[in-house]
Structure 1
């Protein structure tokens, strides 16, 4: 709720602005102005908020955050009224317009603070009413530099309208009306911020849980696929037992299944390879399925644990009133690259998970360059194939954790897979921390020269790649 005119009168009487000096001007956001005022022995901050539904002015003790760039209107006021003395401050009738006259070095400046909800503004004029600048420049209302501002006419017109009765709100708390009003709005703003943070975090946790459940579904499908691969060894054994019946070029073997009462079984063959190579092929499929089954089951256990952790943390945050905890959880999410419901920019490339570590992969020179410039940090690990063009792969470091060999091999497999070495299935890599990369002068986009690099030999592991693809982050 914005202030009514009786509340503004009371606030101004408590503030006793005439005689104060303007020591500083701050504009922490697009709707708030703070004047740093001083009267002998009593410095204080005067807050002016132009927020719709919250238009107000009052004394405050909260120091504003410093913006990276000083906004235009704050720059103007600093040049015009910093060091000025407040000559007078009063409300115009019942119109929620405050006129503050400032004087510096014999030059007068008027500040008109209009607290009209959606039409609120702060307008600076000369004594003659010529607009010097405005917090919100509104050409449609003539509120731009060089135009004239005549609030007295609006006051005269308003005096002819039927009068409404207003009362000063009886706000809880201690101290004068300024103090109680500041505390009231502080609590209101914190309540709204708490709700916004909860809503954002709820959306983020829902998205994270959805990604984890999608990964769990893919892993469960692969588990069933591996469990159904038990026949591969049996097919190899049946082929070996019937080698004398198979000729190179045969596409099928029809034989007896000795594990099923000698019922007939039909096994597909590769006509391009020998009968014994066909048996070896089925043995290889069986080995990969058996190896992959163990890995997939470990991944399933990890994902289920992560889902349980996400559900527990989301439930705890939905109950807490600790706004600092909510802020910290949101910062943690941003640091680990979680989505922000449209607030975050779409990152280039691909993202994979290897245990708790994130692995970023660029698929082109442009993506490599963007990842290197904007998303990689000095201690992150960089990998690249030595003799082939291809992806830049980055392992995002976790403070206090060293990169395990298994994660390094995961990243190495991705570096080979997303390079020209994929067809050969093998490559030599070099890897080093991002801070040890150097850009050559006039080099192509994304080109870097590694220093302090180490070597890694990687042969593509289909089971490892399957696991990485199953647990790839969907963005």
Structure 2
């Protein structure tokens, strides 16, 4: 969401403040909505890389799913008294005045950073001390600033750009002789989409080299963009966001289905090759028959030249050290193996083709599903759990998932809740282990149970004092083009355990 679009929304809402908050709703684990009296739902969707701030009508529901959402619900109360946007940056500060009563709730400020893949939501005191946030940022991730509870809030790095709200025609003169695209890069609050809209309103293209004659019309286009930044209405913005989110949900499903289809097609090719080798089985049997028929005439050597039953001369390779009868039996065994493979292939071709057709139809169906349908399906899969992996229970009653292959590791990690705990033996190939806490505190016995499973289901099995790293699942990601099950992770802690199976695993 670009800075000028945020500015337009902040400007519109500021005219209606202060405004009483009627409570929070959480449509999913990366969305929060505060119902404002006389305004509607102010929705903050903070999942990277497509954050969105918008006002939505209707009645939104959803209980707090993460510890941070529970903190928002209990500590972010009272009237919304002000909205603030530094410059035209993609940052919005919401000021809540708190509540007085039997239990007093002090004022807070909610800082929403709509910064693409670095999007974040932070709850702070009026003085700027961080109370809680969705995604902690450590020095290992960002050398410029650290964001953790208890630290003072540090805003994103400062920058210098032209403010289109106060831009005079004379400030456009230095861009004469340069493409419009370069001016767009220097305009605060204007990104790729608004840059394209600016070019359209000015009657130019982004690669147009600016001349003095272009400047008056371009200045008017910039002013109109400030007043009405987007061709999209709030409803269209929500729809655009939903499409991006739907594509993000479709992508892993599509990749998984395509991998299955590729695997099945490779098997189908193997089955076809097995059928084609039936001719080879027939030739091997005929060689065996000839060796038995002429066994008493065959001399020792690497091959035997014999006439088949149609009178044609055939050269048959022989294995040194075996008699003609033993060579014949060897050919019969190879023929039986090829015939058995062909028989199995014949049985499996039709079911495999049917499964490929089913998966391809599922692939087409997924492409047509809406964001709400995909989210509902994703939630159902989380509730039921993936149909893969070893399922166990920790001493504290938490469900534990253990991957037994790279594909299962990837599936389990993808389907885990963002606040679940993820375990892996440090620097050793092994299973991904998920302790399904969903943000609830886990005791030391629970942590040790999961860590022992991760050590036991790794190449360190049977060793003593094995280091096992664990972190929240939201700090685990698969790099681009990495193989299934290969991940990177941050903000981990380490437990040292013996790589022995816990008693509960049997």
Q: Hey, what's the Cα distance between the residues in 2 that align with 1:117 and 1:372?
A: 31
* Shift in CA distance, 12/48, structure 1 to aligned 2, threshold 3 Å: farther
- Give the paired residue count: 331
| 1:39-78 alignment, distance < 5 Å | 45-49=41-45, 54-59=51-56, 61-64=59-62, 66-67=64-65, 69-71=66-68, 74=69, 76-78=71-73
Q: Which residue in 1 is equivalent to 2:455?
A: none
Q: Which residue in 1 is equivalent to 2:346?
A: 297
Q: Hey, what's the Cα distance between the residues in 2 that align with 1:306 and 1:9?
A: 55
Q: Which residue in 1 is equivalent to 2:11?
A: 9
* Shift in CA distance, 226/326, structure 1 to aligned 2, threshold 3 Å: farther
| Mapped pair 1:86 → 2:79 | yes
* CA shift for structure 1 position 230: 0.9
Task: String of CA shifts for 1:160-212, please: whole Å, max 9, x gaps.
Answer: 9548663357988xxxxxxx73x444322222233334544443343233222
Q: Hey, what's the Cα distance between the residues in 2 that align with 1:329 and 1:112?
A: 31
Q: Which residue in 2 is equivalent to 1:394?
A: none
Q: Which residue in 2 is equivalent to 1:103?
A: 99
RMSD after superposition: 5.3
Q: Hey, what's the Cα distance between the residues in 1 that align with 2:239 and 2:164?
A: 35
SS in 1 for 2:124: strand
* CA shift for structure 1 position 215: 1.7
* CA shift for structure 1 position 35: 3.3
CA contact (8 A) 2:388 2:403 kept: no
SS in 1 for 2:348: helix
CA contact (8 A) 1:227 1:293 kept: no
CA contact (8 A) 2:10 2:85 kept: no
> Comparing 129-138 with 297-306, which one deviates more in the overlay?
129-138
* Shift in CA distance, 171/100, structure 1 to aligned 2, threshold 3 Å: farther
CA contact (8 A) 1:134 1:143 kept: no
Segments of structure 2 that go 5 or more residues without pairing to the other structure are 138-142, 169-222, 390-400, 409-429, 436-497
SS in 2 for 1:244: coil
Q: Hey, what's the Cα distance between the residues in 2 that align with 1:101 and 1:114?
A: 17
SS in 2 for 1:103: coil
SS in 1 for 2:107: strand
| Mapped pair 1:257 → 2:307 | yes
Segments of structure 1 that go 5 or more residues without pairing to the other structure are 173-179, 339-343, 352-368, 375-441, 451-475
* Shift in CA distance, 97/302, structure 1 to aligned 2, threshold 3 Å: closer
* CA shift for structure 1 position 70: 1.1
| 1:140-179 alignment, distance < 5 Å | 140=144, 145=150, 147=152, 162=167, 166-168=226-228
SS in 1 for 2:44: strand
